[in-house]
Amino acid sequence: MSVLEVRNLEKKFGKFTALDGVNFEVRSGEVFGFIGPNGAGKSTTIRVLLGILKANEGEVKIFGKDAWSDAVEIHKRLAYVPGDVNLWPNLTGGEVIDLFVKLRGGNNKSKREELIKKFDLDPTKKCRTYSKGNRQKVALIAAFSSDADLYILDEPTSGLDPLMEKVFQECVLEAKNEGKSVLLSSHILSEVEKLCDRVGIIRQGQIIETGTLNELRHLTRTHILVETKQPIASLTELKGIHEVEETEQGLSFQVDTKELDIIIRHISQFGIVKLESAPPTLEDLFMSHYENKGEREVGGVR
Amino acid sequence: MGQNAFTNTGKLTRLIFRLDRIRIPLWIIGLAIFTFIVPPTFDGLYPSQQDRDAITSTLANPAMTAMLGPGDLENYTIGAMTAHEMLLMTAVITGLMAILLVTKHTRADEEDGRIEMIRSLPSGRLSYLNATLAVTSGAFLLLTLVIGFGLFGFGIESMDLEGSLLYGAALGGTGLVFAGVTAVFAQLSESSRGTIGWSVAILLGAYLFRAITDLSNEALSWLSPLGWVTKAEVYSSNNWGPIVLMLAVAILLFVIANYLNSIRDLEQGFIASRPGKRNASRLLQSPIGLAFRLQRTGFISWAIGMYVLGASYGSIFGDLESFFEGNEMYQQMLQLSEGASLVEQFIPTLMVVISLIATIPPIMAINKLRGEEKKGRLDHLLGRAVSRSRLLGSYLILSVVNGFVMLSLSAIGLWSAGNAVVENGMDFGMLFGAAFVYYPAMLVMIGLAAFLNGFLPKQTSLVWIYILYSFFVLYLGNMMQFPNWVGQLSPFGHVPQVPIEDATFMPLFILSVIAVGLMILSFIGFRKRDIAN
């Protein structure tokens, strides 16, 4: 069952088309990673999901309700953390957290205190004095101390230190274990890799790929490092071979994952001494979509 | 330390000069225009010594002394008159200029991390502070010369070069003193808001202290820097002593600021910021509570300001009668319109001004919505279970109540001061009515502001132009004899002139309907549009 469903979403700002038919869904109980470079339309999509922007075309449903007309009803069960948290300079962090929790309805005092301690925030300081990371903590504490069914997190960790990032990841996993759904937009691909069940990649206002990481990996290349008894003949003539490089450890190259079988068969004829393979990272996956057809140099085997 | 603390002060002075090359000239030009329009006007209004002596009787009362300080009423030349009625007020504005200029380049730059950048370069620890003080001092020297030679340039008999330069120096000196005060508070306080708040408090405190001591014990006025301005007795005895005092105090304050700056860490202050509240009060936990909380300080300041404005107008009511009593020509002129008393004749003109000023805070209250939107903070609310109607409604209610409070307080101020000085007292109901006939017109302005917020969010400042237009055509228009329709383009032009006229129902009803219509439309627009930032 899907908690969030986006169909053919189109959003124009004047003549500029920001979103050009976006399609994806977030299923109940899953963490969905939403990745794409700056200006691809991530934040615009999220603002449409929140009913802050009105879609020109398409259908956006959250909990089966329309994101624009039923915004208030939806928001009672939804928590949002923006990437750029702008707070009121003359209110304290504690006041803002209370305000946010109260505005959603529902109250979870013990969770609030626990999270304040976990995130190591001083709630008696005015927001004016907070750094970017601390402002993000305010938003995160407000979000996770409310009992939401769907969390929409827009680059929530861009200002956090590694320790706090870990606390954040625990919060997301905890929410997931409780059966909550999460839409996580992020630049930190290792984080997405660690947390997300499924990933959607957006480019120029269109979702160009969705699926589990495993599914997506098939669409990209595997790193291979191989040492053979005899030199491998006519390797570069095979389909799906990229970035061939002689290194001290052996021959390094990348293989389109769907051609892997044929390539390995071919290589094995030359007597394999050593074979190392590494799955593509999300970064490779990401890059493969944004590079100009793989012309760019990618590092060797990791 | 030592020499190194001042490295590159010269270059930084040039930088700050470059940053402020528009701001400082604007201030100086503004203050100069404000000063220069007065002597020729007085010269035109009161050409003979007899005319001037006639009005000294209206000025020789405690309310006027409290407001303007003591003046040379015995020998009330054009010069003495200008110095008496203008100098202190201009000095207060000059003090404000000093506070804003100095805060901008001390605590505000520090708060935003710009001084950190400067300090990471080969510049001294005290360079930026002293560069700021150098630029500010230069600005006030320029102000002194512009005002001094400018006033002398009018060639008015009683305004000689020495007096004119002293007039300028009193302004420049006040500026220097408050530049020093601000520089010290910029070290003490931890935020630019705190710096401005403390410095303005000192400025107002100096003004009030002077007002009280001028009435009770003039010698004590020497304790207030603003007391020195009147003690200079510009255009009468031309006393330069207070100017020397100002310079000495300014230098002392500069030295203290430098010392405090040298012993503190960057981005720290001496007045520890109190820890704030751990939890939000019940009041804060709703959109309207938040909106009110964000505007609380401004609201209270405006409320006090409106009361004082009303009271200061009210305090001249008593003198109005005595002023006109001895002047047959004025009496004949005014008696053309019915049998109302002189004070009552003045009330409608006064109320247009007061109600237009009272319209400013409610418009600011509703336009705050757009301000919050631009800063991306509405997303926090709309991303939670807050509907757009509730959000706009909260700001609208605050604005409508705000306008009501402002208008009421100015009427109460007017009445409380007027009642004390007018012989047989004043009717509160009459004054209140005269103020509240303007409420529907004010609501139209609020409605228009809401409408712009709903449909043309990028053009929300248009409402200010409309208010400025109303002020111009209704206040100045009276003097300039514009045709009727020019005034009627403003909602304030349709308001009956209570108490001279009856409060007729129709125009007020129509204004109210327009106001409500605009407000309803604003909800439709606000619910349909994108929230941008």
Q: What is the pLDDT of residue B340?
A: 66
Closest by Cα among B247, B251, B256 to B186: B256
| CB within 8 Å: A80 and B384 | yes
**Rounded Cα distance, B450 and B462, in Å:** 12
| Residue B448 within a domain | yes
Tell me the chain B residues in contact with residue A84 when contact means C-beta distances shorter than 8 Å: 376
Decide which of A219 and B147 is more confident: B147
The reply to whether A67 and A43 lie within a common domain is yes
Any CB–CB contact under 8 A between A274 and chain B?
Answer: no
8 A C-beta contact, residue B437 and residue B512: no
A297 falls in which pLDDT band (50, 70, 90)? very low
Closest by Cα among A132, A133, A61, A124 to A92: A124
- E strand or H helix that includes residue A228: strand A221-228
Phi/psi-derived region of residue B69, left when phi > 0, alpha when psi is between -120 and 50, beta in every other case: left
**Rounded Cα distance, B365 and B304, in Å:** 16
| CB within 8 Å: A129 and B287 | no
AA identity, residue B486: V
Give the sign of the dihedral formed by CA B406, CA B412, CA B416, CA B422: positive
Q: What is the pLDDT of residue B510?
A: 96
AA identity, residue B14: R
The reply to whether A55 and A191 lie within a common domain is yes
Q: What is the pLDDT of residue A299?
A: 35
The order of strands in the sheet holding A65-66 is A16-27, A2-13, A57-62, A65-66
**Rounded Cα distance, B384 and A61, in Å:** 16
| CB within 8 Å: A100 and B375 | no
The reply to whether A184 and A234 lie within a common domain is no
Closest by Cα among B147, B141, B135, B178 to B31: B147
The reply to whether B39 and B166 lie within a common domain is yes
**Rounded Cα distance, B531 and B386, in Å:** 14
**Tens digit of each residue's pLDDT (9 = 90 or more) over A79-119:** 999 888 888 888 899 999 998 888 887 667 888 999 999 99
ipTM of the complex: 0.72
**Tens digit of each residue's pLDDT (9 = 90 or more) over A164-211:** 999 999 999 999 999 999 999 987 788 888 899 999 999 889 998 899
The reply to whether B360 and B258 lie within a common domain is no
AA identity, residue B509: F
Look up the CATH number of the domain holding residue A195: 3.40.50.300
Residue environment code for A256-292, b if the CB has 16+ CB neighbours within 10 A, otherwise e: bbebbeebeebbeebeeeeeeeeebbbebbbbbbeee
| CB within 8 Å: B379 and A72 | no
DSSP 8-state secondary structure symbol assigned to residue A299: -
Residues in a beta bridge with A256: A221
8 A C-beta contact, residue A95 and residue B282: no
**Rounded Cα distance, B49 and B79, in Å:** 12
Residue appearing with tokens 């009515």:
B433
Pull the structure tokens for residue A276. Answer: 């190392």
Q: What is the pLDDT of residue A83?
A: 84
Any CB–CB contact under 8 A between B308 and chain A?
Answer: no
Residue appearing with tokens 């160009």:
A208
| Residue A299 within a domain | no
Q: What is the mean pLDDT of residues A158-167?
A: 91
Strands A250-256 and A221-228: antiparallel
The reply to whether B132 and B167 lie within a common domain is yes
| Residue A297 within a domain | no
pLDDT profile of chain B (533 residues), mean per 10: 77 91 94 91 86 79 78 90 92 96 93 82 88 97 97 92 96 97 94 90 91 86 94 94 97 96 85 80 89 91 90 77 59 54 80 92 95 91 92 97 96 89 84 94 97 95 92 72 84 88 89 97 95 80
Pull the structure tokens for residue B131. Answer: 């560069």
The reply to whether A177 and A36 lie within a common domain is yes
Any CB–CB contact under 8 A between B528 and chain A?
Answer: yes
8 A C-beta contact, residue B355 and residue B403: no
The reply to whether A203 and A225 lie within a common domain is no
Q: Where are the alpha helices (DSSP H) in B315-461?
A: 317-325, 328-335, 342-374, 378-382, 388-421, 428-436, 439-455
The reply to whether A86 and A222 lie within a common domain is no
Residues near B81 by beta carbon (within 8 Å), at least 6 away in sequence:
B42, B46, B52, B71
CA distance to partner chain A, nearest, from residue B184 (Å): 21
The reply to whether B11 and B70 lie within a common domain is yes
Residue appearing with tokens 């310079």:
B247
**Rounded Cα distance, B77 and B236, in Å:** 9
Q: Phi then psi for B381, rounded to 5 degrees?
A: -80, -50
Residue where one domain finishes, among candidates A169, A186, A216: A216
| Residue A27 within a domain | yes
* Interface size between A and B, measured as CB pairs under 8 A: 107
Look up the CATH number of the domain holding residue A269: 3.30.70.920
The reply to whether B201 and B310 lie within a common domain is no
| Residue A160 within a domain | yes
| CB within 8 Å: B381 and A71 | no
The reply to whether A243 and A261 lie within a common domain is yes
- E strand or H helix that includes residue B13: helix B9-19
The reply to whether A230 and A145 lie within a common domain is no
The total number of structural domains that make up chain B: 2
The reply to whether B31 and B83 lie within a common domain is yes
Percent of chain A with pLDDT over 90: 44
The reply to whether B307 and B183 lie within a common domain is no
Closest by Cα among A286, A260, A263, A280 to A217: A280
Strands A181-185 and A150-154: parallel
The total number of structural domains that make up chain A: 2
The reply to whether A147 and A265 lie within a common domain is no
Residue where one domain finishes, among candidates A216, A246, A275: A216
The reply to whether A242 and A277 lie within a common domain is yes
Residue A25 has pLDDT above 70, yes or no: yes
Strands A31-35 and A198-203: parallel
| Residue B276 within a domain | no
**Rounded Cα distance, A176 and A144, in Å:** 12
Closest by Cα among B257, B270, B271, B259 to B106: B257
Residue where one domain finishes, among candidates B263, B294, B312: B263
The reply to whether A271 and A228 lie within a common domain is yes
| Residue A296 within a domain | no
| Residue A301 within a domain | no
Among the partner residues B191, B293, B379, nearest to A52 by beta-carbon distance: B379
| Residue A298 within a domain | no
Q: Phi then psi for B47, rounded to 5 degrees?
A: -65, -35
| Residue B428 within a domain | yes
The reply to whether A116 and A242 lie within a common domain is no
DSSP 8-state secondary structure symbol assigned to residue A63: T
| Residue B268 within a domain | no
CA distances from residue A124 to A82, A91, A138, A144, B4 in whole angstroms, order as listed: 22, 9, 12, 19, 39
Residue range(s) defining the domain that contains residue B92: 2-263
| Rg of chain B (C-alpha set) | 26
Q: If you measure CA to CA, which chain B residue comes closest to A78? A: B384
Residue appearing with tokens 């207070």:
B242
In order, the DSSP letters of B267-288 are T--SSPPPP--SS--GGGSSHH
Residue where one domain finishes, among candidates B230, B263, B296: B263
Pull the structure tokens for residue A145. Answer: 């101390």
Residue range(s) defining the domain that contains residue A35: 2-216
Closest by Cα among B223, B215, B219 to B67: B215
| Residue B533 within a domain | no
Residue A114, classed as helix, strand or coil, is helix
Tell me the chain A residues in contact with residue B290 when contact means C-beta distances shorter than 8 Å: 88, 99
**Rounded Cα distance, A50 and A28, in Å:** 18
Among the partner residues A53, A99, A139, nearest to B284 by beta-carbon distance: A99
The reply to whether B251 and B290 lie within a common domain is no
| Residue B238 within a domain | yes
The reply to whether B26 and B138 lie within a common domain is yes
Residue where one domain finishes, among candidates A216, A241, A271: A216
Residue A292 has pLDDT above 60, yes or no: no
Closest by Cα among B302, B500, B313 to B419: B313
Q: What is the pLDDT of residue B325?
A: 61
Substitution target in A10, A50, A72 with the highest count of B β-carbons within 10 Å is: A72
Q: What count of Cα atoms within 13 Å lies in the side-chain half-sphere of residue A120?
A: 9
The reply to whether B61 and B198 lie within a common domain is yes
The reply to whether B256 and B344 lie within a common domain is no
**Rounded Cα distance, B3 and A287, in Å:** 55
Among the partner residues B278, B381, B530, nearest to A103 by beta-carbon distance: B381
**Tens digit of each residue's pLDDT (9 = 90 or more) over A229-273:** 888 877 778 888 888 888 887 888 888 877 888 888 888 888 888
The reply to whether B189 and B218 lie within a common domain is yes
8 A C-beta contact, residue B531 and residue A52: yes
